Amino acid sequence: MNSEERRRQIASLTAVHGRVTVVELAERFDVTPETIRRDLTVLDEDGALHRVHGGAVPTNTFQTRETAIEERRGAATEAKIRIGQAATTLLPEEGTVFLDAGTTTAMLANAIAEDPRLGRRITFITNCLPIAVRLGGAGIRDVQLLGGHIRAITQAVVGDITLRAIGINHADIAFIGTNALSLAHGLSTADAREAAVKRAMIANADRVVTMCDSTKFGRDYLVSFAPVSEIDAVVTDSGIPSQYLGALEREEIDVIRA
């Protein structure tokens, strides 16, 4: 396991458990306490947790910082690729699909583009410029890019025009990205306009699938756009904390671990 992956899991464990210790983490990841201390320092500087004597605790405020899409593309890349491939198993043979903006949902678009047969009888509706370009460039027959204002930081299309367009459409399934997932705050993101688009897609779809890597569990961003109860399935990686796996399954939410 490389340092990036280890730090991702440390941040997730801290958010879920409320407190972690250097000794416990060193044993869990089979590294020295000095290595864990360096990891905690990096994570503290990034705002992912707070260092305390002997360990770390989660940040107690809702996160508001957004990272540019170029930066997010480089985070947890392998996990996102696996998640995107796993999500293809949920695609209908035909019908309409909402594809939300995001770097994880973009991996589903990549998987479809690499095997266009997956989408030959599907209408894809998306508010994500890179996703529309990727699918259209791969020869997918029916790709619709929603109109509206493009947010440069995420390349997502948002605004009243976007919401009206979603409102007159209906999808068999919506694939939704999220910056965070917690049991108390549900699915959340940093921007109210993107949250509104996600909320509209959820409201106008028969089935809702959220796609998120395991670092998103136990975190909260400023704007909640859906409670966990509105999710039908979660596609994530094998690092999902056991507490969240159990909680989701008790809610009868399908969990696919890529």
Residues 215, 165: Cα–Cα separation, whole Å: 32
| pLDDT at res. 68 | 56
- Contact between 193 and 166 under an 8 Å Cβ cutoff? The reply is no
What pLDDT, on a 0 to 100 scale, did the predictor assign at position 72? Answer: 55
Q: 19 vs 24, 39, 92, 115, 240, CA distance in Å? A: 11, 15, 42, 44, 17
Interval 169-189: pLDDT, tens: 999 999 999 999 988 789 999
User: Looking at residue 65, what is its pLDDT?
Assistant: 59
- Best CA proximity match to 148, nearest among 166, 134, 130, 136: 166
* Ranges of the chain with pLDDT below 50: none
Specify whether the CB–CB gap between 166 and 146 falls below 8 A: yes
Instruction: Find tokens 């004597």 and name the residue.
Output: 53
Give me the DSSP letters along 195-240.
HHHHHHHHHTEEEEEEE--GGGBT--BSEEEE-GGG-SEEEE-TT-
Q: Domain residue spans in the chain? A: 3-57, 69-257
CATH topology of domain 3-57: Arc Repressor Mutant, subunit A (1.10.10)
The amino acid present at 35, given as its one-letter code, is: T
CA distance 104 to 154: 12
Residue 47 zone, left/alpha/beta (φ > 0; ψ -120 to 50; rest) = left
In sequence order, the β-bridge partners of residue 98 are: 125, 174
Dihedral sign of CA atoms 43, 45, 49, 55 in order: positive
Looking up tokens 């360096």 gives 38
CA distances from 175 to 1, 160, 204, 232 (A): 29, 21, 12, 11
95-99 vs 186-189, strand pairing mode: unpaired
71 and 155 in contact (C-beta within 8 Å)?
no
For residue 9, the model assigns a pLDDT of: 81
- For domain 69-257, the CATH class is alpha beta
Cα dihedral across residues 138, 237, 154, 89: positive or negative: positive
Describe the crossing of helices 33-45 and 22-29 by its angle, rounded to 10 degrees: 110
